[in-house]
């Protein structure tokens, strides 16, 4: 039997995934993972033959994804802010929207703190650690703390911090509870915000493979924003910056919660690249 060239396997796999309501681009990610090639080398070798072992492994990976296993769980990582983060079923898979949250935060923080050293930053509900680790690596002079309620998630976060050489202080506990008596200059959080009622409309790739504790929240997804907004006044320095990632349609409500907690300060809703209200910031004067 004639061997398949890589581009032939890629074309076939892309169509196979689309026929099963999966993203065609996943085929490239899986084939690069199987062959161990970076994107440049991969495209240079597209006309090379695929070995029998690689073809067999590729077919198995495709079937896993068709059955609902996220690509990131098959290959073991996700790219975020130009870095590779290990992920598994204990943590939320990082999304591009969270990269925007961090970018907008840096844009504001650099203006507010104007090259100040030792900015005290905290990330609540760190999961795989993408927010806290990115903060530390992009701003090495900052002192970064991160919390999570999940022991299993913190294991992954610490593993990522170690592999990426990021000095982050990880604490286990619920929301701001581990931070008693401490104040911060920058506060970021991407908490669970999906209403439980939305589960029936979501892909099984998400609902069956990512931790529900990192996805869903009570009070139509708003309970954790309310709790944190109530606790934040005793944990923030001035000047200071608070940033939340929110679900589409939640921006005004979350902004109102922050406005209630900080009535004299500037609160704004920011829309993401897709035009959805996705971030809420509060600048403490």
Q: Is 198 annotated as a binding residue?
A: no
Give yes or no for a contact between 70 and 209, defined as CB atoms under 8 angstroms apart: yes
Q: Is 247 annotated as a binding residue?
A: no
> What are 16's two structure tokens?
């196979």
Q: Is 193 annotated as a binding residue?
A: yes
Picking from 18, 13, 100, the residue whose alpha carbon sits closest to that of residue 57 is: 13
The pLDDT tens digits for 41-60 are 999 999 999 999 999 999 99
Q: Is 189 annotated as a binding residue?
A: no
Picking from 258, 276, 223, the residue whose alpha carbon sits closest to that of residue 95 is: 276
Q: Is the pLDDT of residue 1 over 80?
A: no
Q: What percent of the chain has pLDDT over 90?
A: 86
Give yes or no for a contact between 147 and 171, defined as CB atoms under 8 angstroms apart: yes
The pLDDT tens digits for 136-163 are 999 999 999 999 999 999 999 999 999 9
Q: How many CB atoms lie within 10 A of CB 271?
A: 13
User: Which sequence spans correspond to the domains of the chain?
Assistant: 6-67, 90-284
Give ∠ CA 49-54-60 in degrees, rounded to 5.
135
Collapsing DSSP to helix, strand or coil, 186 comes out as strand
Sign of the torsion formed by the C-alpha atoms of 169, 170, 172 and 173? positive
Q: Is 192 annotated as a binding residue?
A: yes
Q: What percent of the chain has pLDDT over 70?
A: 99
Q: Is 169 annotated as a binding residue?
A: no
Q: Is 221 annotated as a binding residue?
A: no
Q: Is 125 annotated as a binding residue?
A: yes
Q: Is 7 annotated as a binding residue?
A: no
What is the C-alpha to C-alpha distance for residues 190 and 280, in angstroms, rounded to an integer?
11
- What is residue 273's predicted lDDT score, i.e. its pLDDT? 95
Give yes or no for a contact between 121 and 135, defined as CB atoms under 8 angstroms apart: yes
Q: Is 190 annotated as a binding residue?
A: yes
Q: What is the CATH number of domain 90-284?
A: 3.40.50.150
Confidence of residue 2 (pLDDT cuts 50, 70, 90): low
The pLDDT tens digits for 64-104 are 999 999 999 999 999 999 999 999 999 999 999 999 999 99
- What is residue 204's predicted lDDT score, i.e. its pLDDT? 82
What is the C-alpha to C-alpha distance for residues 52 and 74, in angstroms, rounded to an integer?
20
């Amino acid at each position: 039997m004639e061997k398949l060239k890589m581009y032939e396997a890629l074309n076939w796999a892309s169509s196979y995934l689309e026929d099963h309501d999966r993203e065609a681009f996943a085929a490239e990610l899986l084939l690069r993972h199987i062959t161990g090639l970076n994107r440049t080398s991969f495209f240079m070798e597209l006309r090379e033959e695929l070995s029998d072992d690689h073809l067999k492994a590729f077919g198995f990976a495709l079937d896993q994804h068709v059955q609902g296993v996220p690509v990131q769980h098959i290959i073991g990582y996700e790219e975020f802010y130009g870095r590779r983060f290990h992920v598994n079923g204990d943590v939320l898979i990082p999304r591009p929207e969270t990269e925007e949250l961090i970018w907008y935060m840096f844009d504001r923080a650099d203006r507010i703190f104007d090259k100040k050293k030792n900015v005290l930053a905290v990330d609540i509900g760190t999961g795989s650690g993408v927010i806290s680790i990115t903060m530390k690596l992009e701003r090495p002079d900052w002192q970064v703390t991160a919390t999570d309620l999940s022991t299993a998630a913190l294991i992954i976060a610490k593993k990522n911090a170690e592999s990426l050489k990021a000095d982050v202080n990880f604490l286990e506990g619920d929301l701001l509870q581990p931070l008693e008596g401490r104040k911060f200059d920058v506060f970021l959080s991407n908490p669970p915000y999906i209403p439980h009622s939305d589960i029936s409309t979501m892909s099984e790739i998400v609902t069956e493979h990512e931790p529900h504790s990192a996805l869903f929240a009570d009070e139509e997804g708003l309970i954790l924003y309310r709790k944190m907004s109530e606790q934040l006044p005793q944990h923030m320095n001035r000047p200071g910056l608070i940033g939340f990632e929110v679900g589409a349609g939640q921006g005004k409500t979350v902004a109102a919660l922050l406005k209630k907690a900080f009535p004299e300060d500037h609160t704004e809703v920011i829309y993401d690249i897709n035009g959805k209200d996705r971030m809420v910031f509060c600048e403490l004067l």
